[in-house]
Structure 1
Amino acid sequence: MSAAGHSSIRRIAVLGATGSIGASALDVIARHPDRFRASVLAAGSKVEALLELCRKHRPDHAVIADPAGHVALRDGLRAAGLPTEAHAGMEALDALVAGDACDSVVAAIVGAAGLPSTLASARAGKRLLLANKESLVLAGELLMRAATSAGAEIVPIDSEHNAVFQCLRSCRAQGDVRRVVLTASGGPFRGRRRAELGEVTPAQAVAHPKWSMGPKISVDSATLMNKGLEVIEAHHLFGLPDEQLGVLVHPQSLVHALVEFSDGSTLAQLGLPDMRTALAVGLGWPERIESGVAGLDLLAHGKLEFEAPDLDAFPCLRLARQSLVAGGTAPAVLNAANEVAVSAFLQGAIGFLAIPALVEDTLAALPATPADSLEALLAADAQARAFASQRIAQFAP
């Protein structure tokens, strides 16, 4: 699908509208009223926040995933005098993204909950602005197959994958690419030895030095699991094997990714750490549109540093790569065990170093099996969650 001209307004569904990526997407959409309109807004359970967004953006449809919120949403829309239609439940959301209520979908629902609507968007051939990691980690093969057969265009919204997406547009074929390098900020504990990480607290782990993110993804950034998940995503998005995917720690977070080509050229994409740039690429591509993000003043930043990731202190990156190579259900098991471990850490039930230990135990206990259907993947996900949950007591501090 090509980006629409100015004559027709593209209707955008924003899934996860009350989260930080949803807010950034709506900010960019609102800057271009002649080109874009938020036609569907979806949220998990925050009815009041969703109503506030509906009053501002006046979508055709509003969806609350939690059915218990339906009446409050419907009545709130009526009270505000809005013609917006209220819906509840994930099935309603899947039907809206698959139907003619929207042309493009911003998929920013966190966790495995975002998978069905992401798949429905791909199968319907929509332009998919993909910010939901789990769709690719859990079901990358299924999602990419669905997108290819329906002619859906996936524009990744993760800053690193979006950077690769932009750099790859300068070559004709996959064979022209030698390797792709994703950058990592290193998180709040960059430079610390393994022995120094036993006592870190959830508050310290969530204090990310560069990006403003939710607690789960902030902890993933601190353990480097986030980068591991991104390597798995890059494998699916760009069709590259593990050995062609590199990771460099880059504390300034200004270079988002580098792509090295067969002729020896390396292209890098740079920009301030602001999700609106990637969202503007996704909304406007192949055109460049105003995002509200300032340009990059390299003189003000002074220097760009790069170093190798420390896999001894941060084994999650190694575990993610192992699960990518194992294939099948392994990435789904990795992802599920990690979600359970991070949640336990945030609640104070386990220490920071128990996160990779619990993930490693779960991967060892549940060897990879073929991932040929969504049912098989969701079963592996459930099995891994159950196993990891039972093991938490053994890792109590």
Structure 2
Amino acid sequence: MPPARADIAVIGGGPAGAAAALTLRRHAPGLAVRLIEASDYDAPRPGEVLPAVARSLLEQLGVMTSFEAQGFVAGRALASAWANDELDERHSIFSAQGPGWHLDRARFDRMLAAAAMAAGVVLSTGSAVRSAAPEGEGWRLTLADRSEVAARAVIWATGRSWRLARPFGARVRVHGDLVAHSRFIDGVAGDNRTVIEARPEGWWYSADLPGDRRIVACMTDPDLGEALALRTDRGWRHALDATRHMRALVPIDARIGGALVRSAGTTTVEPAIGRRWIAAGDTLFAADPLSSRGIVHALRSGILAAYAASDMFDGKEEESRRRYAMITAHGFENYAHALADYYAQGSRWPDAPFWQRRSPLDQQRIGTAR
């Protein structure tokens, strides 16, 4: 069977990939775009809070009306016990940007993909890209169902999966080994707050979700999570009960879902842009959740990647590479300094291993492609 053809194949149908596909259809409607998503948008996804700053990006993508129709709950406040043991609550009514939103991430991602389809993007779901090989000036992609896609350029937006790093000639750089041990709590009416609590073993996070659900997560290092047995129901509950504020959000008789364990540390890919391929979203730069950059960064980088990809077809490939690499490097530098400063403010346990390890991100470790 001959391969399907596209000018640009976007690998990954999350916020970054969908934003790239939508931007391409609006900015360069003459280009044929195919969006390839490994899932069917039916599994839980990390990233539950969308900051208010995302409004301008959703408007730029032309999806604000569709987003508002989803009825996601507006965030009321951020409550944080970070620099000390008391909760410091910041209400959204005092924010110049207004409230953010608490999302059902799978539904949010489906909405973006549907908007891309309505704009003329060809969407393929339920089959991951297993390999990529250079072909002429572009790429030939082989999917899990053995079908193939021939594309003149690729936007690589597979989230925290760097399986394609080797064929693209990219290097994955791991800056921190943070792991999120999360549980969904069902049947708990919330108050539309996001809550953060620093602890010796790391920090805890909770956000209310649509449908009387809540997510509660412990962010810690892999070895510390194993020592606390956070993958087990008993270990996770024992660690939760040791908190001061977080435990009050989970009643004793609450319906607690199974463990969800995901990498959450800072990871980057180098280079950010290569021969007819561009990295975007978490694939480009996976941020520590403490920064609250995840979805906003994904949308913004998807938009920028689309412009860079379009420039490749206008005889500006070298200029596009330089500009995209410069923007990416500048963004990471600002992030690294801000994250180091924020962790320093929360270090109330200087002898605890988790806080001893939170050093500036210029002490980098090279990771392997995942």
TM-score (norm 2): 0.28
Higher strand share goes to which structure? 2
Higher helix share goes to which structure? 1
TM-score (norm 1): 0.27
Structure number with the bigger relative contact order (C-alpha 8 A, sep ≥ 6) is 2
